[in-house]
């Protein structure tokens, strides 16, 4: 008797997310899961997709996002599903919607999540989780909660270390989040509101991570001259808490530090032999965050991504803004803040070296609410596949897929994700190896990528025929084995 499936993908070339060489097979999907992979010629299905000439890969996992609010404000998650992404890790760089008080909108970089503050209305992680359950998005999410958010919620002044009473309150926020299904805590000591937090504060706030086996994820204090010290600090925090650490968007910024990824990767490699460490990277030589004057000297070019008082400058080079205002660049920065920017301050060789490092995962760091966002928001994954793997041959396509599927699923503890195997959840991306490429660039920053054919989340198509399907099968993912140790 032949098998019957909800959905049958026929004649695919399968890259399964484990780094194994591709192979030809059919995929049978039933009840949101992969029921079978192999030669399924005799089988029938409610729906069939002919994938002749296409690659079938596990849906991509965007390990570094600021999508906390996009999950609600654009539940189709178009910038992500159009790239083949089926899971996002939200709450990075120390900032999360959960626990942010309404006045957080006045504290950069929290304004990256919501410049008006209307979304800062989740006093607990449970409240955030419940709203996501009530209004699911097209793709899955796993959430970090931010130490900077805790500070803004608990402290009256941010320019000093927290008192022991404040630490105790922040630790309660961390515990509530972990008990409610967050996968870890992120920090952003590179930013003013958390820069005065010493490692001891972070360790004491993050104590619940030990109990829940959560992740410590960090936008490190320094990615400039002090980058090696920052790696040491990050690893020391991980050792003190006995939890894995994730170094976010690893890079060495500023011309003086170009080439230093040889040093940082050597140090990270050494640490990996002693404790669990992992890292992610986006495939561009320009970074992006709020507009800050300390980036002026380090950047060869700056583009304004948004400005609250001067939206007419959105998308314009800072040089041109200064010319139009008839002032210096420093004065222009002061005039147009609060604002965001793109900074050209990385070295292509460093980007390639970090991307090629065996344990590097792919994370977009896309900023979905910027008026003219960095193109990484719409282009990261097809750029790694099409530009770096296919065209530059930096690594095999199997390795590229692994860096965005099997590797992050294992590091983040997302059970049944990141691989195409019988029994796994049916998060599947079909793409055309010959045409896949990012289309977003610094002139057309929100152009959808090319070559993504169909994207399934939990067995349901969320992207097909070049547009979102309208389905909302996403769920909140928790970290496997993250039950309290007790």
Stretch that binds Zn ion, among 92-100, 102-110, 128-136, 195-203 (CB under 5 A): 92-100
Closest residue to Cu ion using C-beta atoms: 93
Give residue 270's Cα distance to chain centre.
25
Shortest reach from residue 248's CB to Zn ion, in Å = 5
* 383 contact, one of Zn ion, Cu ion, none, CB 5-8 Å limit per kind: none
Q: Which of 176, 365, 427, 460 binds Cu ion (CB under 5 A)?
A: 365
Inter-residue contact 47 to 6 (CB < 8 Å): yes
**Is the Cβ of residue 83 or residue 92 nearer to Cu ion in the bound state?**
92
Stretch that binds Zn ion, among 22-30, 211-219, 256-264, 372-380 (CB under 5 A): 211-219
**Is the Cβ of residue 92 or residue 305 nearer to Cu ion in the bound state?**
92
CA distances from 270 to 139, 265, 279 (A): 36, 8, 14
Shortest reach from residue 365's CB to Cu ion, in Å = 4
Shortest reach from residue 281's CB to Cu ion, in Å = 12
**Is the Cβ of residue 365 or residue 460 nearer to Cu ion in the bound state?**
365
* 235 contact, one of Cu ion, Zn ion, none, CB 5-8 Å limit per kind: none
**Is the Cβ of residue 374 or residue 410 nearer to Zn ion in the bound state?**
374
Contact set for Zn ion, span 230-259 (CB under 5 A) = none
Shortest reach from residue 364's CB to Zn ion, in Å = 11
3-state secondary structure the chain: CCCEEEEEEEEEEECCCCCCCCEEEEEEEECCEEEEEECCCCCEEEEEEECCCCEEEECEEECCCCCCCHHHHCCCCHHHHCCCEEEEEECCCCCCCECCCHHHHHCCCHHHCCCCCCCCCECCHHHHHHHHHHCCCCCEEEEEEEHHHHHHHHCCCCCCCCCHHHHHHHHHHHHHHHHCCCCEEEEECCCHHHHCCCHHHHHHHCHHHHHHCCEEEEECCCCCCCHHHHHHHHHHHHHHHCCCEEECCCCCCCHHHCCCHHHHHHHHHHHHCCCCEEEEECCCCEEEEECCHHHCCCCCEEEEEEECCCHHHCCCEHHHHHHHHCCCHHHHHHHHCCEEEEEECCCHHHHHHHHHCCCEEECCCCCCCCCCCCCHHHHHHHHHHHHHHHHCCCCCHHHHHHHCCHHHHHHHCCCCCCCCCCCCECCEEEECCCCCECCCCCCCCCCCCECEEEEEECCEEEEECCEECCCCCCCECCCCCCCCCC
For CA atoms 201, 207, 208, 210, give the dihedral sign: positive
**Is the Cβ of residue 90 or residue 170 nearer to Cu ion in the bound state?**
90
**Is the Cβ of residue 249 or residue 479 nearer to Zn ion in the bound state?**
249
**Is the Cβ of residue 190 or residue 436 nearer to Cu ion in the bound state?**
190
Stretch that binds Cu ion, among 334-342, 365-373, 382-390, 403-411 (CB under 5 A): 365-373
Shortest reach from residue 351's CB to Cu ion, in Å = 16
**Is the Cβ of residue 93 or residue 302 nearer to Zn ion in the bound state?**
93
Shortest reach from residue 64's CB to Cu ion, in Å = 6
User: If binding means CB under 5 A, how many residues of this protein chain bind Zn ion?
Assistant: 2
Shortest reach from residue 193's CB to Cu ion, in Å = 15
Contact set for Cu ion, span 74-103 (CB under 5 A) = 92-93
**Is the Cβ of residue 99 or residue 251 nearer to Cu ion in the bound state?**
251
Among 156, 157, 69, residue whose Cα is nearest residue 112: 69
Residue 70 contacts by C-beta under 8 Å, 6 or more apart in sequence? Answer: 77, 79, 368, 369
**Is the Cβ of residue 12 or residue 217 nearer to Zn ion in the bound state?**
217
**Is the Cβ of residue 280 or residue 398 nearer to Zn ion in the bound state?**
280
* 292 contact, one of Zn ion, Cu ion, none, CB 5-8 Å limit per kind: none
**Is the Cβ of residue 26 or residue 223 nearer to Zn ion in the bound state?**
223
Q: Residue 68, interface with Cu ion (CB under 5 A)?
A: no
Q: Which of 69, 129, 219, 425 binds Zn ion (CB under 5 A)?
A: 219
Shortest reach from residue 242's CB to Zn ion, in Å = 24
Shortest reach from residue 287's CB to Zn ion, in Å = 8
Residue 266 contacts by C-beta under 8 Å, 6 or more apart in sequence? Answer: none
Q: Which of 93, 98, 235, 455 binds Zn ion (CB under 5 A)?
A: 93
Inter-residue contact 370 to 305 (CB < 8 Å): yes
Shortest reach from residue 411's CB to Zn ion, in Å = 18
Stretch that binds Zn ion, among 72-80, 216-224, 351-359, 440-448 (CB under 5 A): 216-224
Inter-residue contact 386 to 380 (CB < 8 Å): no
What is the rounded distance in angstroms from the CA atom of residue 70 to the CA atom of residue 73? 5
* 405 contact, one of Cu ion, Zn ion, none, CB 5-8 Å limit per kind: none
Shortest reach from residue 249's CB to Cu ion, in Å = 6
Shortest reach from residue 92's CB to Cu ion, in Å = 4
Stretch that binds Cu ion, among 136-144, 357-365, 378-386, 432-440 (CB under 5 A): 357-365
Q: Which residues bind Cu ion (CB under 5 A)?
A: 92-93, 365
Q: Which residues bind Zn ion (CB under 5 A)?
A: 93, 219
């Amino acid at each position: 008797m032949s098998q019957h499936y909800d959905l049958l993908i026929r004649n695919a070339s399968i890259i399964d997310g484990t780094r194994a060489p591709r192979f030809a097979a059919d995929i049978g999907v039933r009840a949101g899961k992969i029921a079978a992979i192999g030669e399924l010629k005799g089988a029938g299905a409610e729906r069939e997709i002919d994938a002749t000439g296409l690659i079938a890969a596990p849906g991509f996992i965007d390990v570094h996002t600021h999508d906390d609010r996009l999950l609600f404000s654009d539940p189709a998650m178009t910038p992500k599903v159009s790239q083949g992404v089926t899971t996002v890790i939200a709450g990075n760089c120390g900032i999360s919607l959960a626990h942010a008080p309404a006045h957080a909108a006045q504290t950069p970089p929290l304004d990256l999540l919501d410049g008006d503050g209307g979304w800062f209305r989740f006093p607990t992680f449970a409240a955030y989780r419940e709203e996501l359950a009530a209004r699911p998005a097209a793709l899955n999410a796993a959430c970090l909660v931010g130490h900077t958010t805790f500070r803004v919620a608990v402290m009256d002044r941010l320019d000093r270390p927290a008192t022991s009473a404040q630490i105790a309150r922040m630790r309660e926020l961390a515990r509530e989040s972990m008990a409610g299904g967050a996968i870890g805590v992120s920090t952003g000591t590179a930013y003013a509101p958390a820069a005065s937090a010493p490692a001891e504060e972070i360790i004491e706030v993050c104590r619940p991570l030990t109990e829940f086996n959560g992740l410590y994820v960090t936008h490190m204090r320094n990615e400039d001259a002090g980058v090696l010290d920052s790696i040491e600090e990050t690893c020391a925090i991980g050792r003190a808490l006995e939890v894995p650490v994730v170094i976010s968007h690893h890079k060495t910024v500023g011309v003086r530090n170009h080439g230093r990824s040889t040093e940082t990767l050597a140090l990270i490699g050494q640490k990996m032999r002693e404790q669990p460490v992992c890292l992610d990277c986006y495939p561009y030589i320009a970074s992006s965050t709020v507009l800050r004057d300390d980036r002026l000297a380090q950047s060869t070019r700056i583009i304004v991504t948004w400005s609250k008082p001067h939206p007419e400058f959105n998308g314009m080079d800072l040089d041109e803004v200064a010319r139009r205002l008839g002032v210096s660049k420093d004065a222009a920065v002061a005039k147009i803040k609060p604002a965001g920017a793109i900074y050209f301050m990385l070295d292509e060789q460093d980007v390639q070296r970090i991307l090629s490092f065996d344990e590097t995962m792919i994370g977009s760091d896309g900023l979905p609410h910027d008026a003219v966002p960095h193109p990484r928001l719409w282009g990261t994954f097809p750029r790694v596949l099409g530009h770096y793997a296919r065209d530059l041959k930096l690594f095999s396509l199997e390795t590229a897929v692994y860096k965005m599927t099997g590797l992050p699923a294992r590091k983040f503890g997302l059970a049944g994700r990141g691989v195409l195997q019988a029994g796994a959840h049916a998060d599947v991306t079909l793409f055309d190896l010959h045409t896949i490429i990012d289309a977003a660039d610094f002139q057309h920053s929100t152009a959808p990528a090319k070559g993504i054919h169909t994207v399934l989340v939990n067995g349901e198509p969320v992207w097909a025929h070049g547009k979102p399907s309208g389905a909302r099968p996403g769920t909140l993912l928790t970290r496997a084995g993250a039950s309290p140790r007790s």
